[in-house]
Structure 1
Amino acid sequence: MAANASRQLARSALRASTRSAFAAPVARQAFRQQGRRFYSSEPPKAGGSSTWIWLSGLAVAGAGGAWYYTQEGGVSAGSSPKVFTPTKADYQKVYNEIASRLEENDEYDDGSYGPVLVRLAWHASGTYDKATGTGGSNGATMRFSPESGHGANAGLKAARDFLEPVKEKFPWITYSDLWILAGVTALQEMQGPIIPYRPGRSDRDVSFCTPDGRLPDATQGGKHLRDIFGRMGFNDQEIVALSGAHALGRCHSTRSGFEGPWTFSPTVLTNDYYKLLLDEKWQWKKWNGPAQYEDKTTKTLMMLPTDYVLVQDRAFKKHVQEYAKDNELFFKDFSKVVSTLFELGVPFAEGVEPWNLKPTWDET
């Protein structure tokens, strides 16, 4: 009871954070770490191999599909393959495994792989083109070159490698479903809202890789944002809501060329991104990298040109103001739109409904 009360108190405090606590880092309740690192390190290499032998892949049967496999060395003459149909409880086990790895593996940016898992799920989904029906989270084609080498995907190998031990432990889950589930897990474990999750994605081969240029270019302005997000079917309000994910993580000069975090609590999801856009004074950073903004007060935070345009464009700004005032509204809208993003291009079976998977901090 005491632990639960402590979590709830911390959660309330995080959501109620204001400009008065501008320079104080927020404690990362979700992963229960004792400190915060403001540096990045290389992820550990995945090792080992699964003892499960694939026979015939996926035969659609309900939400998760039926998987055929044998254990301990494959199929012998006259043997029959077992059929495994994953349930919500099975996906909850995968969720819990990802959450456990997030807690145990803290040798990454600011002590958490959470933000880079969100970015993996985002970039796997954000390639969708509604006009052609191509791209989206169905396929996990970032496993292959050239898509894995697209500039916008720089650094995401760390997230993919982080998830390999999970794939080995639960070989029945597709990479496509795993990457999105990892994004959902990370968002919820970083004190974000509940994100409805629906399995049913299949993995595809290299021929389904999407062309470069479908993800946002951070150097551009409002027209570019509307073109990129409009191609996926999103409006101005949804663009601003999705941009709130920039409350998490940081940029790296060795990857995107940009450098620094957007907020003082890069491993906790709050509406601070919007508050900072409105309340802080931003100026161009003087350095040898691409054009980006820095906060005038501490010079430790940054905003990208595509971030700052949200307060320069009147149509965008009204939504920034709404979310800056109301964290619960942001959470409600963000949950809805990010769930939509994660399902773009997925041919779900008829009647399959999304699930709410339980975060580890919820002890009810």
Structure 2
Amino acid sequence: MMDGDDKAMGKCPVMHGSMTTHSAGVTDWWPKTLNLDILHQQDSKTTPLKGFDYREAVKTLDFDAVKADVTALMTDSQDWWPADWGHYGGLMIRLAWHSAGSYRLMDGRGGGGAGNIRFAPLNSWPDNGNLDKARRLLWPVKKKYGNKLSWADLILLAGNVAYESMGLKTFGFSFGREDIWHPEKDVYWGSEQEFVGDAAQRYEDIMKPDTLANPLAAVHMGLIYVNPEGVNGQPNPLNTAEQVRVTFARMAMNDEETAALTCGGHTVGKAHGNGDASVLGAEPEAAGIENQGFGWVNPNLGGKATNAVTSGIEGAWTTHPTKWDMGYFKLLFGYDWELTKSPAGAWQYRPIDIREEDMPVDPTDPTKRVMPMMTDADMAMKVDPAYNAICQKFMADPEYFADTFARAWFKLTHRDLGPRARYIGPEAPQEDLIWQDPVPAGNTGYDVAAVKAKIAASGLSVADMVATAWDSARTFRQSDLRGGANGARIRLAPQKDWEGNEPARLARVLSVLEPIAAETGASVADVIVLAGNVGVEQAAKAAGFDVTVPFQPGRGDATDEMTDADSFAWLEPLADGYRNWLKKDFDVAAEELMLDRTQLLGLTGPEMTVLMGGMRAMGANYGGSKHGVFTDREGALTTDFFVNLTDMSYKWVPKASNLYEIVDRKSGATKWTATRVDLVFGSNSILRAYAEVYAQDDAAEKFVNDFVAAWAKVMHNDMF
């Protein structure tokens, strides 16, 4: 009960700032402080399924029954959200497409692999309007199969089944995506504070699409791809074609795949803009509780699919929008088109003098025929010479078009699932595709101890062994499960020539390790990792501890033919705090770049801390730099980095933008040099708390054990 004063003043006893409304936090008060939240995403506290192994559970799913239920759902129109032409195919395809289509190649983030579209901001992006209805339509299926079927799998399966129910032979489907349970806050979607605002904010020059800021792919905040009305909402198909090309390339698609996806995506379904967009309710995250979690409530829907308003563009692209056919090409290339506006006021194109029989019927009333439409992106397929040539090829060979689209659709929906070894289910294709980064199976029958003995006798230094293994493994991205040591692609183009891999040193080390692999039957990939382990074990021994670093054999060696060099170019590190290296000065602080790399590696704050200190102690810096090597026992796995970092007998003196001298307070002599990445572990309050654990007098053994565990985690990240 409230006391008299509280009651009289109408005060609420709940601390709103700690529960639902925003109260000022650390980064609000001190915006420049290092925010470690990126390392704390999706921890075990958020899941209601702690200890549950989804990838094992889904293997027991009745796959045929699930598919039958999803197929039946396609034509089970509901009054509360009526289906266009009585078929939800177009809606489910858009749900799957927009779930998967947020993937971008540069950092592997986004995509449909975790069911992120259920949460903000994606669930409330303008481009995802009314997809909340699609997810709710799927709920009975999810409810029926429970934890054996994740939302991430179900959403993408629904798109696949939708295409099959309309006549397309798909390339296949794999289960195995595990759901997350709160938004992925580690994905940078852009800095704008407005949805679909001025796209020029994302470019150095909006008329030069390749100046789009990295790692972004979409042209506006709140869109998946490009603005369908034109560049910054101004129709011009040639300009739009260039934005389409860059955007899809950043989502891992070439020109042919881009054209296939555009044409095949618009072969079915329709856009919705037959009404007044201004009367729609707020998006899901801003809607009232009485809306049952729905956004964009349309007071004029009236149970009629015809009245739906989503993008504001209105109409179907083809004569038969629930059938996989060549109708898209027939209309796009068979008619001239003129610019017009939809009932909701959006720019679109309409055909000139279209024959009535080529017009689709109304989505609600089959006795009426209505005008089809094309967007600026569709017109780009016609006016851009390269896209036009591809479309001509498709029109001349419908089977080739269907196969090309099916493969591109499979790539879109499976890009972030990882290598084929992770695929689950009876429809998982057996063909190796180059974008899956195939790696042949490696040998597990060799004598590991003998290999380690040869490495130890090779004369390689601890720093050489540790740095090479680290560089091989650090490319792993938990965002899309690409990269890592498996495949030993560090010896292939483009990785062997990356500046961050020190090509000359790398070639020298490989010239020692490759013959050992050939002599023992081990893969080069395994030998590289084993060399790193030998280096760690030698460093631990020098510190007074006998340890054996965990090792799992069986990595294979990829070939140039198995490697999409252009795609792998996006994995090149531009900075690596663990090896104290920056390719150049960036607008982003070095410690922020370190957090990004750490999150992609799947490491926690404590793991980052112990690895950092160990790498410095072993002298594994890029180019042999001494920055941050706070020890007189370089090469030994000691806690000296932390002990000296926290020693107040030294002061830190800035010398350049990313360089400091560590100066003895009494003598004034410079003892060491350091970078921001080194010193942030002593200045940031959270990181210092971690560092102090290892600076304590009783920490030596714990440090070695913790380092070995974190090191082994990185080395085995890609062992699926």
Pairwise TM-score range, normalised by the shorter structure: 0.7 to 0.9
CA deviations 1:43-93 (Å, max 9, x no partner) are: xxxxxxxxxxx7536426xxxx223xxxxxxxxxxxxxxxx7425xx2221
Q: Distance in 1 between matches of 2:131 and 2:375?
A: 19
Pairing 1:140–2:115 present: yes
Alpha carbons 1:201, 1:348 under 8 Å: kept? no
Of residues 225, 231, 234 in structure 2, which corresponds to 1:215? 225
| Count of aligned pairs between the two proteins | 282
CA deviations 1:114-139 (Å, max 9, x no partner) are: 11101100000000011111011111
Change (3 A) 1:349 1:273: closer
Of residues 257, 264, 269 in structure 2, which corresponds to 1:238? 257
SS for the counterpart of 1:303 is coil
1:205 deviates by 3.5
1:222 deviates by 1.0
Mapping 1:18-97, distance limit 5 Å: 55-56=49-50, 58-59=52-53, 65-67=55-57, 85-86=59-60, 90-97=62-69
Structure 1 gap segments, 5+ residues each: 1-53, 68-83, 358-364
**Aligned position for 1:15:** none
**Aligned position for 1:310:** 381
Structure (1/2) with the larger helix percentage: 2
Pairing 1:186–2:241 present: no
Q: Give me the TM-score of the superposition, normalised by structure 1.
A: 0.73
Of residues 228, 237, 260 in structure 1, which corresponds to 2:315? 260
SS for the counterpart of 2:94 is helix
RMSD value, Cα: 2.1
Pairing 1:291–2:322 present: no
1:325 deviates by 2.5
1:194 deviates by 2.5
Change (3 A) 1:348 1:169: farther
Alpha carbons 1:248, 1:266 under 8 Å: kept? yes
Q: Distance in 1 between matches of 2:86 and 2:402?
A: 24
1:287 deviates by 5.2
Change (3 A) 1:125 1:57: farther
Q: Give me the TM-score of the superposition, normalised by structure 2.
A: 0.38
Alpha carbons 1:144, 1:206 under 8 Å: kept? yes
Q: Distance in 1 between matches of 2:73 and 2:412?
A: 25
Letter in 1 for 2:84: D
**Aligned position for 2:267:** 247
Alpha carbons 1:272, 1:324 under 8 Å: kept? no
1:157 deviates by 1.4
Q: Distance in 2 between matches of 1:269 and 1:349?
A: 28
Q: Distance in 2 between matches of 1:345 and 1:247?
A: 25
1:113 deviates by 0.6
**Aligned position for 2:572:** none
Alpha carbons 1:196, 1:354 under 8 Å: kept? no
Q: Distance in 2 between matches of 1:351 and 1:85?
A: 12
Change (3 A) 1:173 1:311: same
SS for the counterpart of 2:250 is helix
Change (3 A) 1:159 1:351: closer
Percent identity among equivalent residues?
Answer: 29
Change (3 A) 1:140 1:286: closer
Pairing 1:118–2:93 present: yes
Change (3 A) 1:318 1:93: same
Pairing 1:196–2:206 present: no
Q: Distance in 2 between matches of 1:215 and 1:86?
A: 36
Change (3 A) 1:137 1:57: farther
Question: Rg larger in 1 or in 2?
Answer: 2
Q: Distance in 2 between matches of 1:292 and 1:101?
A: 31
Change (3 A) 1:344 1:263: same
**Aligned position for 1:10:** none
Letter in 1 for 2:225: L
1:339 deviates by 0.2
Q: Distance in 2 between matches of 1:335 and 1:56?
A: 36
Change (3 A) 1:251 1:56: same
**Aligned position for 1:39:** none
Q: Distance in 2 between matches of 1:192 and 1:104?
A: 20
**Aligned position for 1:323:** 394
Q: More deviation in 253-262 or 204-213? A: 204-213
Change (3 A) 1:102 1:213: closer
CA deviations 1:319-358 (Å, max 9, x no partner) are: 111122222111110111100000122235735367439x
Letter in 1 for 2:373: M
SS for the counterpart of 1:232 is coil
Change (3 A) 1:287 1:337: closer
Q: Distance in 2 between matches of 1:273 and 1:349?
A: 33
Q: Distance in 2 between matches of 1:59 and 1:347?
A: 17
Alpha carbons 1:222, 1:309 under 8 Å: kept? yes
Q: Distance in 1 between matches of 2:181 and 2:104?
A: 18
Mapping 1:346-357, distance limit 5 Å: 346-347=417-418, 350=421, 352=423, 355-356=426-427
Q: Distance in 2 between matches of 1:110 and 1:317?
A: 30
